[in-house]
Structure 1
């Protein structure tokens, strides 16, 4: 079984074309994709969580 792809925060920000500050504001409002905090403090996002978040943004815009 393959492990899910984990994206670094800068990769997520690049893909959604958003600044770190804007992302953290959205995260504080509970509107950002789900992130996982690693024991070393770094943040990761599963590819599946980011894709699900994109789909929910499309549904909300319609």
Structure 2
């Protein structure tokens, strides 16, 4: 398994996949709700309206948000205020 300059991992002929993100730490929706002082229903309402940070759905259906995406989303909200 080796990396290439295009950002892919080489798993042999015809078997490549994207390299993991540099900052792959993911946070939970509960963490975000606690940090912002909002309910889960408010978060899901924002998500339905396209106002929440970008989420990643895990195979078990749970949602996670990359920490860097959350921090960038917060910074964008500060700029808009």
TM class by smaller structure: 0.7 to 0.9
What are the Cα deviations for residues 10-48 of structure 1, in whole angstroms up to 9, with x where unaligned?
Answer: 111111211011111111110101110001101101000
**3-state SS of the aligned residue for 1:45?**
strand
Q: Which residues of structure 2 form unaligned runs of 5+?
A: 1-19
Give the paired residue count.
61
- Does 1 or 2 have the higher relative contact order (CA < 8 Å, sep 6+)? 1
Partner residue, 1:38: 58
Q: Which residues of structure 1 form unaligned runs of 5+?
A: none
Residues in 2 aligned to 1:3 and 1:52: alpha-carbon distance in whole angstroms: 13
C-alpha deviation, 1:4, in angstroms: 1.6
Task: Using structure 2 for the length normalisation, give the TM-score.
Answer: 0.69
Query: Which structure is higher in strand share?
Result: 2
Aligned-residue CA RMSD (Å): 1.6
Task: Using structure 1 for the length normalisation, give the TM-score.
Answer: 0.88
